[in-house]
A and B are shown apart, each in its own frame.
Chain A
Amino acid sequence: MISASLYIIVCSTKNRIRRRLRRLREPRYLVGAIVGVAYMYFSFFARMRGARASIASGRRRSGRPPELPAFFVQAGGSLVALGLFALAALSWLLPFNSSMLEFSDAETDFLFTAPVSRRALLVHRLMRAQLGVIFTSLVTALVFPTARPNPVAWVVAVWVMLTTVRVYFTGVTLARGRLLLGDASVRPVAWAPVAVALAAVAIVGQSLVRTLVREQPSALGPAITAVHDALSSGAAAWVLWPFVAVSRPLFAQGGRPFAAAIAVALVVLTSLFAWVLHSDEALQEAAADAAARRAARGRARDKPAARARATGLTLAPVGRPEFVFFWKNAVQMVRATTGVALLRYAVALTVIAVAASAAISSATQARGLAMTLCSLAIGVAGFSVVLGPQIVRTDLRSDLRHLDLLKAWPVASAAVMRGEMLAPGIALTGVAWLALTCAAILSAAGFPALSLSWRLSIAAAAVVIAPSLVFAQLLIQNAAAVLFPAWVPLGNERPRGVDALGQRLILLGGVLLSVALMMLPGTVAGGVIWFAFQRWVGPPILLPAALVCLSLVVLEILVCTELLAPLYERLDVLAVERAD
């Protein structure tokens, strides 16, 4: 079976690389690859070289090789071990399952039906997982170039640790499966790891609590030292020994200590693997569950789960065709928006709001809840206007999947282009207006140095400018979908590879540049009005200047959608539906 596994892995990898290289014949992939490689070089490799140079200069200055801080060398292993232990304990409680039991459809059809033992299937899956683990280990060496002077040792240490974690999770998933098996003779044995895990948590928890209560550390340094002391003596040390053994290679200094540490870590890994192989009774059930989860994830990636909930939006029997698209996309937005999706944006919004709050408070020296809320509102408005059009893709970008349907409809192409942008544009503008209104109401607290006239004028101008920025970006994004359909990811799909990364960077750069160019005439016209009249009118002149800017952007959008119409008509479905 091992030779068959190797054959599958080698052939699949070879063909994947060959296909990636073959697609470089297409200019868009080639250009994407060049940009992607340049980005990788400047982001990681150049940084790594810089870090090396810094280490070398430190060595020259001090006359000895730089070392990790003593505190880190002493307590680092214990802390990582504690983290791994917590993860291991939680894995029994949380309903996460190992991806190691996810077999591809082809593997299920070919290998599960073949005369191959369950253990051999597990070995095969572990072997196949190695490419990903090794890649992740390499990436960590690139991302943290100063982690160790010897990057090879770092990669090996991370590889052993990640493989051990994966094998352990596989064991936990299989053990959970065994608990659910009908075979009464298996169930008592299956409970044994659960009992061991619970006992281990009790021992480590008690040791930690006792030490921390006794020492009562007042600062972070002593606290970490106390934790280290608690974990490196008594029963807790025995319990944590496998976790310490797995994490120790990360911190081992010098060649011989590293070799010794890695040997011990490999012993732990081998023991765990033996446990996993011994728990193979539940493989089929666990693999079937994993396949169902994978299928569900695939469906969710293509189209998040939705409920046919009432939207309150009714399509009138007659009217302009643009509103058909508005209705369709608005219904989609309402039904596709889930709590999880909102939470994802809420996290990003919070980060932006905190940053904006800190910036405003440091600039204006204002304090208080009102100022924080004002900052939060400004953060929300900025997020909606600047990042919103890139995130909310309920327009032609998501409808490229339905292009064959759209093209069969008797609707003018310019109307399709305009209609597709309406729902996301109106939604984002609505959010921005709401946030700007809140910011305006709270602006006295946020910007105490500004007069009421200034604050109201700025708020009114921002309300006018917000839709122009939103719709300008949406136009560019939708134009990109028409001009370069193959560059636009469909739905939630994201192509992989350095060339795909480069493509995304080029697209982002192109969009930003185009939006800047599109806003230029309006900005210049608004600027002229401002400079011509602000001396006499004062801050309120901002509003007419913004209105002129908005008018020019609207005009540009109307002209551009008409210009894009013939390109949409020529847009070939096959440019989107790329043959495999």
Chain B
Amino acid sequence: MPVTVEHLRRVYGSFAAVDDLSFEVAAGEIVGLIGPNGAGKTTTLRSLAGILRPTSGRIRIDGHDLAADPLEAKRRLAFMPDEPRLFEYLTVEEHLRLVARLYSVPDFEGRARGLIEELELKGKEQSLPDELSRGMRQKVVIACGLVRNATTLLFDEPLTGLDPIGIRRMRETIIARARGGAAVLLSSHLLHLVEEICSRVIIMAGGKKVADGTFAELASRADLAAAGSNLEQIFMRVTGHD
């Protein structure tokens, strides 16, 4: 299983941002992680990416324990954060080269060229982040994540700042990677996107998992049956906002 999370807990002082969270993401699966603001989605993704240390619990990426064997686990991961944080003094091409070196990407040139085309970054290869729009910077972050053969892709609000064409391309890219066998975990407030591309949904509230399943499974749950059949209605019911 590419992603296995067991009893993940992360506290900030006395506040538990994520509490006893367990789930799995299989290869080829696109799982949507949704929840209201402060539900613990970003903390979960950042813990999975190895940025935050879990207070307790275990995370395994392709069987590699993130705490015990972090380097092997991280080699298989690609995390695309919601806020594009890039090195101010490296160009787009240099960012890709840097990532290729760190992750030992063998056919870097070809892959980089393809991604630059795919993400419409052509002509911006020698630009510094400051010279790019926010949407373009977001695309650079995504390109850095996709330039390597990660088995697990973590997206935090991947469509933020993208134009309509970019959104459509991004959607296609995510689906294509999942079809290629990657496990995708995607956090978003755009429920229609989640509904459209995700095969399964995890709903969080107050740091806890309050629902987990395919749309059909959620819709058929006894306590949610009356909510309606679309994700927004289910979300509202599960999070107590209906």
Q: Which residues of A contact B (CB under 8 A)?
A: 299, 303, 305-308, 315-319, 321, 324, 327-328, 331-332, 335-336, 401-405, 407-412, 569-570, 572-574
CA distance A327 to B127 in the complex (A): 18
B24 interface contact, C-beta 8 A: no
Interface stretch of the complex, out of B83-91, B198-206, B212-220 = B83-91
A562 to chain B minimum Cβ distance, whole angstroms, is: 15
A44 to chain B minimum Cβ distance, whole angstroms, is: 38
Q: Using known A-B contacts A316-B101, A317-B108, A573-B51, determine if residue A404 contacts B85 with beta carbons closer than 8 Å.
A: yes
CA distance A411 to B102 in the complex (A): 7
Known: A303-B89, A317-B101. 17 other contacts (CB 8 A): A305-B130, A306-B89, A306-B128, A306-B130, A317-B108, A321-B102, A324-B101, A324-B102, A331-B94, A332-B87, A332-B89, A402-B87, A404-B81, A408-B49, A410-B70, A410-B75, A572-B52
Question: In the complex the two chains form, is A318's CB within 8 Å of B101's CB?
Answer: yes
Question: In the complex the two chains form, is A308's CB within 8 Å of B131's CB?
Answer: yes
CA distance A404 to B94 in the complex (A): 19
Chain B residues 120 to 158 lying within 8 A of chain A, measured CB to CB, are 126-128, 130-131
Question: In the complex the two chains form, is B51's CB within 8 Å of A408's CB?
Answer: yes
Residue ID in chain A nearest B81 by CB atoms: A404
Residue ID in chain A nearest B48 by CB atoms: A408
B50 interface contact, C-beta 8 A: yes
Interface size range of chain B in the complex: 35 or more
Complex interface: chain A residues within 8 A of B104 (CB):
318
Which of the residues B49, B50, B87 comes within 8 Å of A328, measured between beta carbons?
Answer: B87
Q: Which of A332, A405, A572 has the most CB of B within 10 A?
A: A405
CA distance A371 to B88 in the complex (A): 43
CA distance A121 to B77 in the complex (A): 53
Complex interface: chain A residues within 8 A of B127 (CB):
308
Q: Which residues of B contact A (CB under 8 A)?
A: 12, 46, 49-53, 70-72, 74-75, 77, 79, 81, 85, 87-91, 94, 97-98, 100-104, 108, 126-128, 130-131
Which of the residues B46, B51, B103 comes within 8 Å of A410, measured between beta carbons?
Answer: B103
Question: In the complex the two chains form, is A408's CB within 8 Å of B50's CB?
Answer: yes
Question: In the complex the two chains form, is B71's CB within 8 Å of A411's CB?
Answer: yes
Residue ID in chain A nearest B93 by CB atoms: A308
A579 to chain B minimum Cβ distance, whole angstroms, is: 8
CA distance A542 to B29 in the complex (A): 67
Question: In the complex the two chains form, is A409's CB within 8 Å of B46's CB?
Answer: no
Complex interface: chain A residues within 8 A of B71 (CB):
410-412
User: 15 A-B contacts, Cβ less than 8 Å apart?
Assistant: A303-B89, A307-B128, A321-B102, A327-B98, A331-B94, A332-B87, A335-B128, A402-B85, A408-B77, A408-B79, A409-B74, A410-B70, A570-B53, A573-B46, A574-B12
CA distance A401 to B74 in the complex (A): 20
Question: In the complex the two chains form, is A306's CB within 8 Å of B79's CB?
Answer: no
A294 to chain B minimum Cβ distance, whole angstroms, is: 17
Complex interface: chain B residues within 8 A of A407 (CB):
49-51
Complex interface: chain A residues within 8 A of B70 (CB):
410, 569
Question: In the complex the two chains form, is B91's CB within 8 Å of A404's CB?
Answer: no
Residue ID in chain A nearest B43 by CB atoms: A574
CA distance A321 to B100 in the complex (A): 12
Residue ID in chain A nearest B97 by CB atoms: A315
Complex interface: chain B residues within 8 A of A299 (CB):
130
Q: Using known A-B contacts A306-B89, A308-B91, A411-B102, determine if residue A404 contacts B74 with beta carbons closer than 8 Å.
A: no
Complex interface: chain B residues within 8 A of A319 (CB):
101
Complex interface: chain B residues within 8 A of A401 (CB):
85
CA distance A331 to B53 in the complex (A): 31
CA distance A282 to B146 in the complex (A): 51
Complex interface: chain A residues within 8 A of B75 (CB):
410
A335 to chain B minimum Cβ distance, whole angstroms, is: 4
A301 to chain B minimum Cβ distance, whole angstroms, is: 12
Complex interface: chain A residues within 8 A of B130 (CB):
299, 303, 305-306
CA distance A60 to B98 in the complex (A): 74
Complex interface: chain B residues within 8 A of A574 (CB):
12, 52
Question: In the complex the two chains form, is B103's CB within 8 Å of A315's CB?
Answer: no
Residue ID in chain B nearest A323 by CB atoms: B101
B182 to chain A minimum Cβ distance, whole angstroms, is: 17
Complex interface: chain A residues within 8 A of B89 (CB):
303, 306, 331-332, 335-336
Q: Using known A-B contacts A331-B89, A408-B74, determine if residue A308 contacts B53 with beta carbons closer than 8 Å.
A: no
